[in-house]
């Protein structure tokens, strides 16, 4: 992420333009690339996601047949946005938007996109926000406020976790919270509680590589015994209220994705 930022600073960033681009034939295969507004592409992505039939396939392969079904008219058509997706907006900005003064307000969503205050109001007027408004309460240093105990995160707990981290908080990951799994920061098997301050959203891959046994519980190792199993990639932890990756070297690193800095904990 840092290298990409430096290249952009030195050479500038080429502005993308909407369009469909077709690549050359290579080994009997061709590539199609579509560039359009974040809303239209994300709606397409959500539509294809709902039609995946094999969760064991790599995601790019699993999306292929749903894509062609949609093109050939075998699908159900594009999903109309209904924001079960979390929209993170601070109380002050919400007050501006509600009064019609939030045209410069930009809020982030847990599907990895953003919307302006005007788009927020339009979505509400069209009924896309549903008939209920859920409000999450966050403490500046403790994180999300506790709700209740359960082994598996309830919808309320999941919603709070999504509002806090709109994309997977692992550095350089761009998987939106809508496609992430609820992760216990302190593993449940080691006594970690199912409460908002101990939960975050992680994509399937990073949820799998996160080190749930930082103190050597894995494989019941004795002190000094060489570690076996998968390499230590670090683990998520909460520091001063925010979720960060605690690297094997001891550094705390956050995600630099632009939506990552627009979640609930960044609004207070």
Contact (Cβ atoms closer than 8 angstroms) between residue 182 and residue 166 = no
Q: In angstroms, rounded to a whole number, what is the distance separating the alpha carbons of residues 58 and 3? A: 27
Residue 21: pLDDT band by 50, 70, 90 thresholds? very high
According to DSSP, the β-strands at 181-184 and 199-202 are: antiparallel
Mean pLDDT of 70-89: 72
Lowest mean pLDDT among 89-98, 141-150, 161-170: 141-150
Total Cβ atoms within 10 A of residue 265: 21
Question: Which of 11-15, 24-28, 52-56, 127-131 is the most confident on average?
Answer: 24-28
pLDDT at 2: 61
Let me know the angle formed at the C-alpha of 212 by 206 and 217, rounded to the nearest 5 degrees: 150
| pLDDT above 90 for 3 | no
Residue 89's alpha-carbon distances to 30, 35, 195, 202, 263, in angstroms, are 42, 27, 22, 21, 8
pLDDT of residue 164: 92
Burial class (CB in 10 A: 0-12, 13-18, 19+), 117: buried
Supply the pLDDT for residue 149.
38
DSSP state of 178: G
- By the 8 A CB rule, do 252 and 244 touch? yes
State the average pLDDT for the chain.
79
- Domain residue ranges in the chain: 20-79, 138-216+232-266
Burial of 7 (0-12, 13-18, 19+ CB in 10 A): exposed
Containing H/E element for 108? strand 106-109
Cα–Cα dist 113/167, whole Å: 10
pLDDT tens profile 198-228:
899 999 999 989 998 866 544 444 444 444 4
Residues with Cβ < 8 Å from 103, sequence gap 6 or more? 116, 117, 118
Collapsed DSSP state (helix, strand, coil) of residue 133:
coil
Q: Tens digits of per-residue pLDDT, 231-257?
A: 588 999 999 889 999 999 899 999 999
Band of pLDDT at residue 169, cut at 50, 70 and 90? very high
Q: Can you say whether residue 86 is alpha, beta or left, with left for phi > 0 and alpha for psi between -120 and 50 degrees?
A: beta
pLDDT bucket at 137, cuts 50 / 70 / 90 = low
Strongest mean pLDDT among 8-12, 37-41, 240-244: 240-244
**Whole-model pTM over 0.95:** no
Please give the Cα distance from 3 to 35 (Å, whole number). Answer: 24
pLDDT score recorded for residue 94: 77
Q: Tokens for 255?
A: 């995600």
Question: What is the reported pLDDT for 85?
Answer: 66
Q: What is the pLDDT averaged over residues 178-203?
A: 86
Helix/strand/coil for 100? coil
pLDDT value at residue 104: 80
Could you tell me the CA-to-CA distances from 37 to 49, 55, 206, 240 in Å, in that order?
18, 27, 28, 36
- Which among 112, 122, 221, 103 is positioned nearest to 165, based on CA atoms? 112
Q: Give the C-alpha separation, 19 to 191, whole Å.
A: 51
Task: Give 54-71 pLDDT, tens digit per residue.
Answer: 888 898 999 999 999 888
């Amino acid at each position: 992420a840092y290298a990409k930022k430096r290249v952009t600073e030195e050479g500038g960033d080429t502005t993308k333009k909407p369009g469909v681009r077709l690549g050359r034939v290579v080994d009997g295969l061709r590539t199609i690339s579509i560039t359009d507004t974040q809303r239209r592409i994300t709606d397409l992505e959500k539509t294809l996601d709902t039609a995946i039939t094999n969760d064991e396939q790599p995601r790019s392969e699993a999306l292929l047949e749903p894509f062609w079904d949609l093109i050939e008219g075998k699908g159900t058509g594009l999903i109309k946005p209904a924001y079960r997706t979390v929209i993170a907006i601070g109380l002050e900005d919400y007050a501006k938007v509600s009064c019609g003064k939030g045209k410069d307000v930009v809020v982030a969503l847990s599907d990895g996109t953003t919307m302006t205050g005007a788009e927020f109001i339009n979505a509400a007027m069209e009924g896309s926000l549903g008939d209920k408004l859920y409000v999450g309460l966050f403490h500046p240093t403790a994180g999300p406020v506790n709700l209740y105990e359960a082994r598996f995160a309830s919808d309320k707990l999941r919603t709070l976790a999504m509002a806090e981290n709109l994309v997977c908080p692992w550095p350089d990951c761009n998987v939106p919270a809508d496609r992430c799994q609820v992760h216990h920061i302190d593993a449940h098997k080691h006594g970690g509680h199912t409460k908002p301050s101990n939960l975050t959203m992680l994509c399937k891959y990073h949820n799998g590589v996160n080190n749930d046994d930082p103190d050597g519980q894995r494989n019941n190792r004795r002190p000094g015994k060489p570690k076996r199993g998968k390499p230590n990639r670090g683990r998520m932890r909460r520091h001063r209220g925010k979720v960060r990756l605690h690297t094997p070297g001891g550094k705390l690193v956050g995600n630099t994705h632009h939506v990552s800095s627009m979640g609930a904990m960044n609004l207070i």
